[in-house]
Amino acid sequence: MNRRSFTQTLVGSGLWWTAEESNRTKPIAYLKPGDRIGLICPSGPISQERLERSLSNMDQLGLVPVLGKHIMQQNGYLAGNQNERLEDLHNMYADLTVKAIWCIRGGFGATHLLPYLDYKLIKKHPKVLLGYSDITALHCALSTRLAFSNFHSPVASSEMTPYTLEQLRNIIFGTSGQLVKIGTSQENDDFIGEGKTVFERYVISPGQAHGILWGGNLSLLAALCGTPYLKVNRDFLLFLEDIEEAPYRIDRMITQLLQVLPLHLLKGIVLGVFEGCEKKADTASQTLKEMMIDKFSHLSIPVVYGFPFGHILHQCTLPFGAEAILDTESFSLTVKLP
């Protein structure tokens, strides 16, 4: 769909994007089969099994892997020491034959790297970085410092269901201006009962909103509060996810964001599937749903829970900095690729 027809589509609902609004992030060089993709471990260590699954996923996508020098290193819960992890990241940006960088896993440790990133090198050789969970730290830093639009996507070693693979292809092989619709009821209904996750969906505050996609793992965003790597503006559609945190811990992190960031001024909030975050049996606790409604319902902006992203089998890919429209009635997110 071209820009004119897209604008006409949105006018009927009272939402549209101007040329000024569409120039907030750097243009993305989308991928194509045959491209060389750097594989790195900026956070936790990997096993040989994870590496082999990463290579298999690359093969399914028709991409050519370029392995970081230190990807099999281990330093406790880290994938090598700080200098080794930085070296692999910087080498991939410096290699002109590498078209994108894909993190093999999350874990912990990406926040260590933020003060030492060579932002001049990265700006000189921009390329897309893919991953989620702990990789949120890198996404936030590159978005804040360089206005880069990276991909909140499965990591390279993720288990790729047909849905996950299709959603990933739609984004990474996309073209600027392409529309991708995510999270329709039918898509979610198809996966209820599959795997270990049921995609529970509910609207906390109804409405439509258009804005700039930005967010990631809640724990990482809370950890970045007060640092120069976490800055939001009122144009953001904030997306959040987490895993295996008790409702009171989710409450604490959301409360921290509410007290530090102007969430009430954002365009809307899209919550993924918080896997393993439900109330435990026989505990004095709110349910996850009760807590989410309690924390977000007063913001007077559209808020929904249950979009297919997070630490789950069937997950979509969300591009940082992309313009998107959230429609709570159809439970959909229409993303316009940068």
Helices (H), 261-308: 288-296
Q: Which region holds residue 35: left if phi is over 0, alpha if psi is between -120 and 50, else beta?
A: beta
Residue 133 CA, chain-centre distance (Å), reads 8
Q: Is 90 noted as a catalytic residue in this protein?
A: no
Cα angle: 9, vertex 300, 10; to 5 degrees: 5
Cβ atoms of 40 and 104 closer than 8 Å: yes
> Which position has the token pair 């505990």?
283
Contacts for 197 with CB less than 8 Å, ≥ 6 apart: 191, 273, 275, 312, 313, 314
Of 241, 245, 314, 332, which one is the catalytic site residue?
A: 241
Nearest to 99 by CA among 70, 62, 132, 73: 62
Q: Is 241 noted as a catalytic residue in this protein?
A: yes
Residue 128 CA, chain-centre distance (Å), reads 13
Buried b (16+ CB within 10 A) or exposed e, 278-314: ebeeeeeebebbebbbebbeebebbbbbbbbbbbbbb
Beta strand 303-305 with 202-205 is antiparallel
Q: Is 311 noted as a catalytic residue in this protein?
A: yes
Q: Which residues are registered as beta bridge partners of 131?
A: 152
Beta strand 323-327 with 332-336 is antiparallel
Cβ atoms of 169 and 316 closer than 8 Å: no
From residue 9, give the alpha-carbon distance in Å to each of 3, 177, 179, 180.
10, 14, 12, 14
Of 70, 90, 139, 311, which one is the catalytic site residue?
A: 311
Catalogue the active-site residues. Answer: 133, 241, 311
